[in-house]
Chain A
Amino acid sequence: MPLRTSSKGSSRVNIETVARLLTIRNSPILLRLPPFVSALCLVVGIAWLFILPLNEYSRQTYVSENAILPGQVHTYFGGSEHNVFRAYRHEVYQMAQWSQADRLAAIEGIMRDIGLKSARQPYRYTVAGEDIQGTNVYALLQGPRADATEAMVLMAAWRNFDGEINHSGVALALTMARYFKRWSIWSKDIIILIPADSTYGSEAWVSAYHSTATEVTAWRNVSELSIKAGALQAAVAIDYPVGPWGHRFDKLDILYDGINGALPNLDLLNTAVSIASGQMGIGCSIHGVAAHSDSYQDRLKTLARGVMTQSAGHATGPHSAFMPYHVDAITLKTVGDGWHDEMSLGRTTESIFRSINNLLEHLHQSFFFYILLNANRFVSIGNYLPAAMLMAGNFTIAALALWLQSGRAPMTPTTKPADTASKLDGLQLEKVKLGDAVVLVPIQATKPMIRHLFLPVLAALAVHLFGVLPLKALVSLHRDYLTLSLQAIALASYLLPSLLSILLVRTLSASTQQIQILQSLSLLLLSAVLATLATLNFSLAFVVGVLAWPLAFVRPLFNPFAASMTLTSTNLHRSLLLAGQLLVTALYLALSPATVLYILTRYFDTSVQWTLLEMAKAWQIQGVYTALVVWAIWWPAWIVGGVVLTSSAWKPRS
């Protein structure tokens, strides 16, 4: 370092360096700029998302893997298969009235008649006092050209994601199986899977597929699979819950969100879209935006829905459970009234399977991280990631600024200096001797402050560990107590900051510096976690970043009735300050995790209990980590922010 040059060297250089260093130390840029930079990051980060729908920042989708050749084959599903399909649909309709055992036997009977090997898999989950059980039926079509190393899955859940019985979907899957059996082109095995339920059935099946033996625990009892094929390459689910008299649909809604916001390879989606719209003439929609005019508003709406779904991280269909196992999967859901019938859907499925069958390697060529704006327009990770990174950067900058501040002696001029001369008088000056040169500098500028780290580190750790409590409570309590426990958590989180700051400031006599360090550490952790999370689940990181924005700007409230204030300000001034501070506190409380949860359930018109139950089930069964991020990352950071906010109020009067 230049400063370490021997004092016998050129003293001129040294003086210049010292002067420069001192300038930097006192530079208003370092002292005052960070909050503005932070705010800029925040604003730019949010604004970033709004420019993504523009043509300049998004791209037309394209099929990247050459082997797929979507829509290059002629599809033959039709003719007399339609008669068979209608019969199977009647069968499925009849089965819906039967008991579960009869239904399973009937489905297996059809599969055996087709000439496939079939098997069942009962499963049972017990979460929050709720029993989820069912039995999956599946059959294996051994590909004539296959050597049992690869397989693809055709799925039709018995009940679709909305809970309706998937009459036509199941019938179509069975008809397709019968039709596929005659072809000799399959180079991968085909598994026909009828999960009992769209979320947990497929989860039970795919988890058993990838495990050796399943341990029975109090809350999870999933049987092993008696028939297995090789590595799963892709899965396609059909959601077509139309009864025995049929219903023509208008569009295919393609569902693609996986657990924890994992997405299938874009090639699979593109294949489905290009086959459906290019080959079959069926329009495709994303996220239920059926009437998509490709305008900025519609694109933004699709993007917003995508971000919301992805950030929630829950399952969106039977395909979702496959994503954590690196199996690309989508659901084709029929929507609207139109003129496309089940045969068009069947031909689409046939063509998709022919394309997957063409694959020589596991889908890897195209994007795994993308945001869709409509069925054939996407934003790649390079374009959208900066938004989440800016959100995380905002907290980093705030944390670094706080760290710098904590290392400075407080500049406390007792009176406001009138002019420069008296300003100099007010400061204590110190002689700094360097070789034969002497400089006069203010004493605060050169005095290094020792940071007392022990208490802040301990406090930050404790608060973050404490986050396990609400998480544990909300995922393991009985469902009747879930609402109550959320209320308790909400109340506790309103009180906890004050209590903690009393503990820290009064009992443990933490200094202002230590409070600053505490906040800095907490923000550093938050930013690091968000930046990491952004590479896994962009939307969750972004949404948490947006909701946690005040944490970067929280500073201790100052007591308007403190001694120093009473001397200088008028009553009006003080009451205005008080009002302002109350407003800040109210805003702060409104952005607590529990409150936000309440607001969100109100906005989406769902019950709090249902939401909490779904979160508990998702965490327990599918390993959705949204709850963890909320309660172990965001909530502790929010609590620390509250401690900072209230710290000055409990400062003992000196």
Chain B
Amino acid sequence: MTSTTEKPAGALKERRQMNGNTVLLLITIILFFVLYAAGCAVYAGKGFATVQTFLNILRSKAGLLCVTCGMTCVMLTGGIDISVGSLVAMDCMLLSYGMANWGLSAPVMCLMVLGIGVLFGLFQGYCVGYLNIQPFIVTMAGMFFARGMTAVISTDQLSITADINQTFYNWANYRIYLPFGGTLNRKGVMIMPYFGIGVVISLVVLVVIFLMLRYTKFGRSLYAVGGSEQSAAMMGLNVKKTKLKAYLLSSFLCSIGGICYCMNTMSASVSQATGLEMDAIASSVIGGTLLTGGVGNVIGSFFGVLINGTISTIVQTNGKLASSWPNILTAALLCFFIVLQSIFALIRERKK
């Protein structure tokens, strides 16, 4: 500001405010570390405080992370996609059944799953963007459809074993070892911590979506549409196309997540991944994404997923707590974050 002359009233006062959304993200990150540290402190004896435990969280939540990235993109536009859990179930079922009964190779099945994700997303996106139907209704129909199709493919509990498809089995069990952080097992052999392909895929998805949201026209349009649809249209953005792409992306990422999920469970059943969509929404919200749209990013969602994983790991490690505790804890956290978000919104309103 060198050459400017007079200053509009109030402009100076309004400058350089601490952004409330940054604070929220910070709180999420701090909360994750506090939770994790608490877990380490209490359950150190049960092997919680190892690198492997952390990597296991990433391994078991790889699918959820991919799904949450897609969910965050949709939520940024002010929409929601509750079809993702069922879509993951359908993906798993299709992978398992296809490899077992049709004898198709793993790459072909994966491509098919991804292709179905694209078609599924195209249809949902078209309904939301161009036909202007409420996203909740559209994706609820998608949810029932995918769950139903899962049962149509098979109502059995299927497992993927090495006999059924060696390639997929190898993928799922491929281990990438870290060069540090190992632990001694009972026999005194040093075991290095490892992770699988699913973790790599999900982290790549995370980074790509992060860059996409920040540095591409499409990414910024998602924010603009969520901020004000009318304004976005007035500024010459194609709102309908942006929405369609958002749902397309969500279903596509959900299919990637489905593959990761399948690699982790190596099985399929009709009731698989029930409520996964709610976990994804909860992770996004805990990560600072607003349901009203326009605010949030996938780094927050990543920590949301980590918090989700930490809670379930703590409950598992404890061993005595009922399995309902993760839900209750998640509920408490959600409450905490929603209240925080409203408080920050109120503060901003006051400052005006």
Co-assembled chains A and B: no
B interface residue numbers (CB < 8 A to A):
none
A interface residue numbers (CB < 8 A to B):
none
